[in-house]
Structure 1
Amino acid sequence: MAAVFGLVAALALGAVGEAKAAAPAADTAQTTPATTTADRFTDRPHGFASLAGGTTGGAGGKVVTVTDQASLARYAAADQPYVIRVKGSIAVEPFGSDIVVASDKTIIGVGDTGEIVHGELHLKPGTHNVIIRNLTIRDSYVEGDWDGKTTDFDAIQMDSVHHVWIDHNRFTHMGDGLLDVRKDSQYITVSYNQFADHNKAFGIGWTDNVTTQITIDHNWFTGTKQRNPSADNCAYAHLYNNYFSNQVADGDPQWTYGSWARGRTEMVIENSYYDGVQHPYQADATAELVQRGSILRNTTGRHDAWGDAFDPRAFYDYRLDPAAAVPALVKRFSGPQKRIGDAVTLHVPGAYPTVQSAVDAVPAGNDVPVTIAVAPGTYREKVVVPADKPKILLQGTGQHRSDTVIVYDTPAEYGGSTGSATVRIAANDVTARHLTFSNDFDEAAHELRGEQALAMKTTGDRIVFEDTAFLGNQDTLMTDSPRLTTVSRVYIRDSYIEGDVDFIYGRATTVIERSVIRALSRGSTTNNGYITAASTWKDNPYGFLITRSEILSDAPAGSFHLGRPWHPGGQPDAIAQVLIRDTKLPAAIKASPWTDMSGFSWRDARFAEYGNSGPGAAVTEDRPQLSDAEAPSYTVARYLNGADGWAPYDRH
């Protein structure tokens, strides 16, 4: 949901409320496209919280997981930005106490079970840039105090703050209000929350100033009596696609109500659903309230609407769901969601200037999926994903993998083969999609020839590359393992790899499927290089599998090898295993495509072909072939499954 950026300057803090935009046409709410499912789980705020610089919470800070009150309180009150993941239930003591939340924080429940019990999140005056998501905050209610007169135990209370997003939470059974947005707070969005089983749900205002701008959408008010919400002297209060149901029926003729525009509030209500609500929406004579497109079922009392209020689209873009769809949608999508709390998304360059800075923000021992979303562009940097940071997805967000490039130009002469790698992945369970990895070291410019310069090195297990490209010359892509006898697995699909000498090499079990491999010419008429240089450990039956792919080359006919056996450090037990099957081969492939290396004969390695085609394919005694009986033992599944049954190919 994108903001209208031309209005950001006009919406600087303190500058709103001085002019009134014209109301949109009456049928606008009915013709706007419905919000997509993906929009309901976006990690970027919409509405007023997205304006005047936006709300990013703890983005750019460290990601921490807390399971106790002391840790939550320490990180929430810290001066530095933090993404604070609340795991499990945290009971606050003494009963009803505050957890102070400072600026630049994201507090998010892990999975759908993160909760704060008996306590309040409190934002003091001046606090800004806070995101609170995916939590249950419950049970600070004092028995017998239905009106909340003896305590002030809210679920969340904020005074004179700005840029706050409250999203996908569940609030119930607190000592006073569930959510209080007070005293000139500005640029607030409250979305997809549940307000349940309570007297005073959601209050806004407690001020004579008309400054607050607030967006309230897709919330479920159920079993609540009043303040759904009560908006006092709001400059702009935009309510849309909210669901009001099962209102408390205690016979109170005045203080049982839905939404109330009080003082000089300007309120717009769109496409909401009121079911069994007394006074569904009402306005003071000094306020203005516009309602359009809502459904009222079994309602009684006041249905006020007067004045022009304002046009929300003059401030930001948004999509409306049909009012009839609101009950089902809000029941399904409001409140804590496992899909939100089980993953974290870090944006590059938005909150993080570099890919490495985003990797650095992932906590050691990370136990949840983290997506590093990399915007289109060229990132000239080296990136290391250390072994203690698993479960990372590096994802380019452009339309094509060539839109997002991570590139550097270090040769092995200046850092060893490992140090030359533009990107190095040592962690397990890392996936990369829609990206290009490149080492653009210029050998000719440095008067060097045959210099290693890796685009990518992996040592982790269960590594996946989808729709990726690897660009380089010698040793472009190294898939390895942390120790000689350790098996790591790498799956590469729908990708592109180019190079000249040993440009796919290492000891990891590696499957390259449905991909293009380009063998670059070095200008020779007899030997332009080697596609593979495997160093598979002797006890590992599965090394490299290239299947259902195509090898291309502009090198002269008969000038490229399929591979040679690499024995690092002369290690005799590194016995290469390479199978190329069901793949198209170019004329550049030699008639005898396997060759010796460093005194080790290729005939002692485990090289084979099966079912290949194209001008470079042939069956001779120098080209070992699998038999039809052997072929079923050398499939993608056999290479990758291992003892844990890993099957990344099943996800397609």
Structure 2
Amino acid sequence: MRPQLTEEQAARYSRDEVLRYTGAAGNDVTDPWLPAPLVATAILLDFTVGQGGSHATVQQAVNAALVQGRGGRVAIGIMPGVHEGLVYVPPAPFALTLIGLGRRADDVMLLSNIDAEMPGPEYRRRFQAQFADAPAQVASIFRRIAATDRITTANASVVRVENNDFQLLNLTIRNSYGADRVQPDSTETNAAGQFRKGQHQAVALLIAGADRVQVQDVALRSFQDTLYLQSPARGRTVRTCLTGCDIEGDVDFIFGQSTAWFERCQIRSLGTRAPQAWATAPSTDICTRHGFVFNDCDFTHDGSPAALAGRFSLGRQWFEGVRATPYGQPTVPGYRCDLGAVSGYDPPSGTISRATLQSVGKCVILRSRIGAHINRAAPWDDWNGNSWNPRYRPAQYRASDMLDALSGWLRGQDITFEDVDPAMVFLGEYDNQNS
């Protein structure tokens, strides 16, 4: 199914309208944000990173700005070359700009190897030297992650941004994790030694609750979960604007809860590793106005045989935190799912939280070119497979799809969505071209 927006509906998805709102889902505030194009030659540098620069690493330059108590906007220029190490940008009295000083984004690379299944002790051992002299704002992030048993996806990024009004310009961020960590469900490998299935989340760029983040002419490289657009808390949204970016991956490689506008970006699906690829996995709250909106973008592929088979997807709606589903026809004898404070499953009964229930996922694609690697008959996929299991949910294109499918269950749980328009768009396209 390819749900198409009308011209009137599409007009509601202008950049300025999408980026206008922030705050609590269903109780947001109007806060117009009109990001102007970044011009490299107009940016005055406060620090430089690289040979002959003021600092050897990007993190050292960030630390210096924090220690010096800088305010306003701080700009760090990064010289051409490969810069290894993690970069953590905490909340600060200043807004930070990171700019690559090469001619192209590929000339400057921020690189590290980090994945969600990394044990906390391994994380500490590998990265503690980078944060040994870090100021408190940065050191606290490192210590918190190091104290975990497994660091999880929310902590497995090369660059972590918690800084409002952050800007990123003209560089590449690459997570070099090769999907090669041995796990019980990771058995089959490809010619490169990468596991085709399993938990191999490895984030390049994480926007960790920061608002008004501008990313321009940036390349993001990984396989699973390349770009994570995270809300500061469930049911609250922040905004990111991405322009002229090149983003690649295979499994759910653009995902998260917040609002994001993509303009003139290339979204490249890789087909050499995973048996299936999903470009997006939004988990937008049903009461948040906008999830991911792509305008004038190119959905392309790497030319691999899997991509050429035309069986990849534009995305699937992340049923975030689900353990027991109220959807579909259960195959587990005695199965039951009820509303609960948290989502859990102790067979045959489970609970679903209100936050999980409302994580419907919204994505609209406008005036873009869709490559032949995308399944044209069914470009949007179900969550967690196309047959019933305790975490299943079918693709939902309008709010009515949810409300109709769950009508009896909602009544039984004394849940109403009276303020939700059944015609509300979850997934949609407008004026796209098959390329």
Q: Which of the five TM-score ranges fits, normalised by the shorter chain? A: 0.5 to 0.7
In 2, Cα distance between equivalents of 1:573 and 1:420: 26
Cα separation, 2, equivalents of 1:379 and 1:418: 22
CA contact (8 A) 1:362 1:389 kept: no
> C-alpha deviations, 1:74-129, integer Å up to 9, x for none?
xxxxxxxxxxxxxxxxxxxxxxxxxxxxxxxxxxxxxxxxxxxxxxxxxxxxxxxx
| Residues 1:578 and 2:366 aligned together | no
Q: Distance in 2 between matches of 1:476 and 1:559?
A: 20
Amino acid at match of 1:380: E
TM-score, scaled to structure 2 = 0.60
Deviation at 1:461, TM superposition (A): 0.4
Offset of residue 369 of structure 1: 0.8
Match of 2:381 in 1: 595
Structure showing the higher helix proportion among its residues: 2
Q: Is the aligned partner of 1:398 residue 2:398?
A: no
Matched-pair contact (CA < 8 Å) for 2:45–2:77: no
425, 430, 435: which is aligned to 1:610?
Answer: 430
Separation in structure 2 between the aligned mates of residue 501 and residue 537 of structure 1, nearest angstrom: 21
Contact persistence 1:343–1:369 (CA under 8 A): no
Counterpart residue type for residue 428 of structure 2 = A
Residues 36-75 of structure 1 show CA distances to partners (whole Å, capped at 9, x for unaligned) of xxxxxxxxxxxxxxxxxxxxxxxxxxxxxxxxxxxxxxxx
CA apart distance, 1:567: 2.5
Please list the CA deviations of residues 524-552 of structure 1 after superposition, one character each: whole Å capped at 9, or x if unmatched.
7xx52101000112211100011101111
Structure 2: which 5+ runs fail to align? Answer: 1-42, 119-150, 183-193, 323-355, 384-390, 397-401, 403-424
SS of equivalent to 1:536? coil
Question: Residues 344, 363 of structure 1: CA spacing in aligned structure 2 closer, same or farther, 3 A cutoff?
Answer: farther
Number of residues paired by the alignment? 272
- Name the structure 2 match of 1:537: 285
- Return the alpha-carbon distance in structure 1 between the equivalents of residues 232 and 319 of structure 2: 16
* Alpha-carbon distance in structure 1 between the residues aligned to 2:165 and 2:155: 22
Which gives a bigger RCO, structure 1 or 2 (Cα 8 Å, sep 6+)?
2
Matched, 1:358 2:143: no
SS in 2 for 1:602: coil
Question: 2:155 aligns to what SS in structure 1?
Answer: helix
Task: For 1:531, give the aligned amino acid.
Answer: A
- Pair 1:523–1:343, CA change in 2 (3 A): closer
Residue 297 of structure 2: aligned partner: 549
CA positional deviation for 1:444? 4.0
Q: What's the counterpart of residue 647 of structure 1?
A: none
Give, in angstroms, the shift of residue 366 of structure 1.
4.8
Name the structure 2 match of 1:372. Answer: 76
* Structure 1 residue 523: Cα displacement: 5.8
Q: Secondary structure at the match of 1:359?
A: helix
Matched, 1:510 2:278: no
Q: Name the residue aligned to 1:452.
A: 201
Distance 2:288 2:90 in 1: 25
- Asked whether the equivalents of residues 100 and 171 of structure 2 are also in contact (C-alpha less than 8 Å), the reply is yes
Aligned to 2:171: 435
Shift of 1:445: 7.3
Which residues in structure 2 correspond to 1:461-472 (within 5 Å)? 461-472=211-222
> What TM-score do the two structures reach when normalised by structure 1?
0.40
SS of 1:498's equivalent in the other structure is: strand
Alignment partner of 2:89 out of 385, 390, 401: 385
Amino acid at match of 2:210: G
Q: Does 1:474 align with 2:220?
A: no
1:241-300, Cα deviation, whole Å (9 max, x unpaired): xxxxxxxxxxxxxxxxxxxxxxxxxxxxxxxxxxxxxxxxxxxxxxxxxxxxxxxxxxxx
Is 1:347 the counterpart of 2:41? The answer is no
Partner deviation per Cα, 1:603-635 (whole Å, 9 max, x = no partner): 2481111110024xxxxxxxxxxxxxxxxxxxx
Aligned to 1:292: none
Q: Does the 8 Å CA contact 2:250/2:278 hold for their aligned counterparts? A: yes
